[in-house]
Amino acid sequence: MDKIVFTPGALEDYHAATAWYFARSEKVAYKFDAALAAALERILATPELYALVDPHHRRGLLRRFPYSIIYRVRQDDILVLAVAHSRRSSSFWKKRG
Protein backbone atom coordinates (compact mmCIF):
# COMPACT_ATOMS: atom_id res chain seq x y z
CA MET A 1 0.00 0.00 0.00
CA ASP A 2 1.48 3.33 -0.97
CA LYS A 3 -1.38 5.78 -1.17
CA ILE A 4 -2.93 8.19 1.31
CA VAL A 5 -6.25 9.89 0.57
CA PHE A 6 -7.50 12.85 2.60
CA THR A 7 -11.19 13.59 3.03
CA PRO A 8 -12.10 17.24 2.35
CA GLY A 9 -12.53 17.74 6.10
CA ALA A 10 -9.08 16.35 6.84
CA LEU A 11 -7.55 18.67 4.25
CA GLU A 12 -9.37 21.57 5.87
CA ASP A 13 -8.01 20.52 9.28
CA TYR A 14 -4.46 20.34 7.88
CA HIS A 15 -4.67 23.73 6.13
CA ALA A 16 -6.14 25.41 9.23
CA ALA A 17 -3.40 24.02 11.49
CA THR A 18 -0.66 24.98 9.05
CA ALA A 19 -2.08 28.50 8.68
CA TRP A 20 -2.24 28.88 12.47
CA TYR A 21 1.43 27.90 12.82
CA PHE A 22 2.50 30.10 9.88
CA ALA A 23 0.81 33.10 11.50
CA ARG A 24 3.04 32.58 14.53
CA SER A 25 6.27 31.20 13.07
CA GLU A 26 7.19 30.04 9.59
CA LYS A 27 9.89 27.81 11.09
CA VAL A 28 7.41 26.05 13.38
CA ALA A 29 4.92 25.68 10.51
CA TYR A 30 7.56 23.81 8.51
CA LYS A 31 8.30 21.62 11.52
CA PHE A 32 4.58 20.84 11.84
CA ASP A 33 4.46 19.90 8.16
CA ALA A 34 7.51 17.65 8.60
CA ALA A 35 5.97 15.99 11.68
CA LEU A 36 2.79 15.29 9.75
CA ALA A 37 4.75 13.84 6.81
CA ALA A 38 6.75 11.61 9.16
CA ALA A 39 3.58 10.32 10.83
CA LEU A 40 2.04 9.58 7.43
CA GLU A 41 5.18 7.68 6.42
CA ARG A 42 4.94 5.59 9.61
CA ILE A 43 1.28 4.89 8.87
CA LEU A 44 2.06 3.84 5.29
CA ALA A 45 4.90 1.59 6.41
CA THR A 46 2.89 -0.09 9.18
CA PRO A 47 -0.84 0.74 8.96
CA GLU A 48 -1.72 -1.29 12.07
CA LEU A 49 0.96 0.44 14.17
CA TYR A 50 -1.48 2.73 15.97
CA ALA A 51 -4.33 1.76 18.27
CA LEU A 52 -7.92 1.48 17.17
CA VAL A 53 -10.27 4.21 18.38
CA ASP A 54 -13.29 2.24 17.15
CA PRO A 55 -13.65 -0.94 15.10
CA HIS A 56 -12.54 0.73 11.85
CA HIS A 57 -10.39 3.78 12.68
CA ARG A 58 -6.96 4.38 14.15
CA ARG A 59 -5.24 7.39 15.70
CA GLY A 60 -1.65 8.17 14.78
CA LEU A 61 0.13 10.75 16.90
CA LEU A 62 2.37 13.53 15.64
CA ARG A 63 5.64 13.91 17.47
CA ARG A 64 6.18 17.25 19.24
CA PHE A 65 2.76 18.63 18.26
CA PRO A 66 -0.65 18.18 19.95
CA TYR A 67 -2.22 16.64 16.84
CA SER A 68 -3.24 13.20 15.71
CA ILE A 69 -4.20 11.67 12.40
CA ILE A 70 -7.47 9.75 12.38
CA TYR A 71 -7.42 7.20 9.58
CA ARG A 72 -8.95 4.03 8.21
CA VAL A 73 -7.03 1.28 6.45
CA ARG A 74 -8.79 0.31 3.23
CA GLN A 75 -7.91 -2.33 0.68
CA ASP A 76 -5.99 -0.03 -1.67
CA ASP A 77 -5.19 3.02 0.44
CA ILE A 78 -5.24 4.82 3.78
CA LEU A 79 -8.15 7.23 4.21
CA VAL A 80 -7.36 10.18 6.51
CA LEU A 81 -10.52 11.51 8.11
CA ALA A 82 -9.02 14.16 10.37
CA VAL A 83 -5.91 15.99 11.46
CA ALA A 84 -7.19 16.58 14.96
CA HIS A 85 -5.92 18.88 17.68
CA SER A 86 -5.81 17.09 21.04
CA ARG A 87 -8.21 19.62 22.60
CA ARG A 88 -10.86 19.12 19.94
CA SER A 89 -13.80 16.81 20.56
CA SER A 90 -12.71 13.24 19.97
CA SER A 91 -15.74 12.44 17.81
CA PHE A 92 -16.06 15.47 15.48
CA TRP A 93 -14.64 13.47 12.56
CA LYS A 94 -17.07 10.53 12.79
CA LYS A 95 -19.53 12.07 10.34
CA ARG A 96 -16.73 12.22 7.74
CA GLY A 97 -16.71 8.55 6.98
pLDDT value of residue 87: 81
The pLDDT of residue 12: 95
Q: Which of 78, 77, 79, 70 is nearest to 51 (CA)?
A: 70
pTM for this structure? 0.89
DSSP string, 24-42: H-HHHHHHHHHHHHHHHHH
Can you give the pLDDT at residue 86? 86
Name the CA radius of gyration of the chain, rounded.
13
Q: Mapping DSSP to helix (H, G, I), strand (E, B) and coil, where does residue 81 land?
A: strand
**E-assigned strand segments in the chain:** 4-6, 58-61, 67-73, 78-85
Q: For the domain 4-87, what is the CATH code? A: 3.30.2310.20
Query: What is the per-residue pLDDT for 65?
Result: 97
Domain ranges of the chain: 4-87
CB distance 91 to 17 below 8 Å: no
Q: What is the pLDDT along the chain (97 residues), one digit of tens a residue?
A: 679 999 999 999 999 999 999 999 999 999 999 999 999 999 999 999 999 999 999 999 999 999 999 999 999 999 999 999 988 766 766 666 6
Q: What type of residue is 89? A: S
